[in-house]
Amino acid sequence: MSDPGGLRIGYIGLGNMGAPMAQRLLGRPGGLTVLDTRPEAVAPFVEAGATAATDTAELAAACDLICVTVLDDAQVRDVVAGTGGLLSTARPGTVIAVHSTISDTTATELAAQCAEAGVDLVDAPVSGGAPGARNGTLAVMVGATDEAFAKVAEPFGHFAEIVIHAGPVGSGTRMKLARNLLHFISFTAATEAQRLAEAAGIDITELGKVVRHTDAITGGAGAIMWRDNTSQLGAADSWFPIFSHVRDLGEKDLSLALDLGERLGVELPLATRALAGLGVGLGVGTGSTAQAHASEEHA
């Protein structure tokens, strides 16, 4: 198993994400064994040269690296440690990679259980959705030992553009949860923006076009995520003038949006929270616009 390129890979779960990820592993030197509860999901892989396993235990006995993409924590626990699960036949040195987004505590608990059998479990959730899986452009966030990460980095590179070693087991999931926190808060903010635009008589489908266009240019929220910590910045720090400028622009626009919302009778709780916390979150402190708004609120 010193040559990651020669690992025999097993893949469990050939759904919307698992199937395109597994497809990009076809043709690797070590070969591919697949398993899914639906025969119609397995058939195209067999036709393309993969081997079909009849159950989890059979797959584990034949493979060096096993990728798991199932629905939730309960299914992951069952596949890994349930009756007839992977641990029933996996050989010492085997790596089990869980791509499902699960609790970080599930990952660490299962990793400890696997370690007793000499098996490495790594949590390796992905970001980029089915299009990223099909195109091989996913981001994979891996919680693993250095040794286990060295084994999975090359195979993961077949379906991912970025493979990040986030830290020890559990870290991949924690990174994914932070990433998805931003994702779904931004969705909530988008619904708030739509309510404001609709109340103002704006065609929100046209607003959506503008958002998608400009986010593709500016990078969206990721454009400010360059620092290696979240401490407050000193005035001499090179980031201070940059983020102060971002804060001032943001506070101005948020204040104007809140004023429009007040006139239209539209509540904007996320915008209110953003105005109060933007500068502090950027590490440059609250700006004059937010301070003035806070004074008016308490007047």
Show pLDDT as tens, one digit a residue, over the chain (299 residues): 345 668 999 999 999 999 999 999 998 989 999 999 999 999 999 999 999 999 999 999 999 999 999 999 999 999 999 999 999 999 999 999 999 999 999 999 999 999 999 999 999 999 999 999 999 999 999 999 999 999 999 999 999 999 999 999 999 999 999 999 999 999 999 999 999 999 999 999 999 999 999 999 999 999 999 999 999 999 999 999 999 999 999 999 999 999 999 999 999 999 999 999 999 999 999 999 989 888 887 76
pTM of the model: 0.89
CATH 1.10.1040.10 residue ranges of the chain are 226-298
CATH 3.40.50.720 placement within the chain: 4-175
So what's the architecture of 4-175 in CATH? 3-Layer(aba) Sandwich (3.40)
Strands (E), the chain: 9-12, 32-35, 51-52, 65-68, 95-98, 120-123, 126-127, 138-143, 160-167
- Residues that are catalytic: 176
Compute φ and ψ for 114, nearest 5 degrees. Answer: -65, -40
**Which DSSP symbol is given to 119?**
-
Residue 117, SS3 per DSSP: coil
Q: Would you mind telling me the total number of residues written for the chain in this entry? A: 299
Bridge-based pairing state of the strands 9-12 and 95-98? unpaired
Dist CA 153 CA 74 (whole Å):
26
Q: ∠ CA 104-41-61 to the nearest 5 degrees?
A: 60
Element (H, E) at 80: helix 73-81
CATH superfamily, domain 226-298, is: N-(1-d-carboxylethyl)-l-norvaline Dehydrogenase; domain 2 (1.10.1040.10)
CA 194 to chain CA mean position, Å: 25
